[in-house]
Amino acid sequence: MSKIKYIGLVLFTTLLMGVAFPVGKIGMSYAPPFFLMGIRFVLAGALLAFIVRRKPRPRGAKQWLQAAAVGLFQSAGVMGCAYYSMHWITSGESSIITCTNPLLVIVFGTLFGGAVYRGRQWLGVVAGFLGVAVAFGFHLGLQPGTFIGFAGALSFASATLLIKRWGVAFDMTVLAAYQMLAGGLALFLLSALTEHPYFTVNAASITVLLWLAVMCSIVQFTVWFYLLRNGDPAKTSAFLFLVPLFGVLSSWLLLGEQVNRYVGLGGLLVCAGIFLVNWGGNGYSAAPLVKKAAVER
């Protein structure tokens, strides 16, 4: 994959991730969070499964369980924790915590995947995290929502490494479809246990739901899984530091939320972090993950 194509796809998918925050906040005016996300992922998963119906489905119970596990981490775990955490913290704070994922990917990859990273790359993800924190003014307190959001980041990092390890055995669009279905069903269960599900039907709610299901789910996950499979998961995940910044800008455009001056400084730190992670040399060996995946096929 060329660098121009890679960067273009990364920017596109992280933009969609960022826009999902304000659009999701709008959607929560028409449905509770778990139920809204459940509808989003079941609808998106069903549509994508229909689109890719002629492609090979997961083979055997093991691959179906692997697809379901990715869905529990990637769709239900990440989005469930992110939106549930907003009962205590803001959407910006939730996005900050969720996007510590790149640092966790490097930690998990080093501890469990046999990956090797350079000090420059560790410095880069730390700089990126600090940039996101600066962009939101360091308004991050320790409360239930903080720990729930961090659980979402752990889930995101786990899903990233599972996709890198198991993804070689799947068609990535098929995996995207069935993991969304699994995650959506899990969110429906959470909604039944913790919420009073409802959905207000009107033009605005349908528009929001279709945007979340098509652009922020089908398109986003398909591109994201493609990037994870064909590149370094840590380098790709480093660009997730852009998600809160895109979220702030889209919240300003869509919701009229204020953008403070220190967002610019945070943006510079984010760019510096991405540069440090991606500049020069490999610094990462994906061989252990790929080798394990090949053995498991």
pLDDT 10s digits, 205-230: 999 999 999 999 989 888 887 887 78
Percentage above 70 pLDDT, the chain? 88
pLDDT(285) > 80: no
Give the pLDDT confidence score for residue 212 in this predicted structure: 93
Residues 217 and 44: beta-carbon distance below 8 Å: yes
Compute the distance between CA of residue 21 and CA of residue 95 in angstroms, rounded to an integer.
Answer: 8
Amino acid at 60: G
Amino acid at 19: V
Give the pLDDT confidence score for residue 113 in this predicted structure: 66
Where are the alpha helices (H) located in the chain, listed in sequence order?
3-27, 33-51, 60-71, 78-85, 91-98, 101-112, 119-135, 144-166, 172-194, 203-210, 220-230, 233-238, 242-255, 262-278, 287-296
Give the Å distances, CA to CA, from 74 to 98, 141, 175, 242.
12, 25, 11, 18
The structural domains of the chain, with segments of one domain joined by +, span 3-296
pLDDT 10s digits, 220-258: 888 887 887 787 776 777 787 788 788 878 888 888 776
pLDDT(281) > 90: no
Q: What mean pLDDT do residues 184-197 have?
A: 93
| pLDDT mean across residues, the chain | 81
Compute the distance between CA of residue 256 and CA of residue 254 in angstroms, rounded to an integer.
Answer: 6
What's the pTM value of the predicted model, to 2 decimals? 0.78
Top-confidence range, 7-16, 74-83, 223-232? 7-16
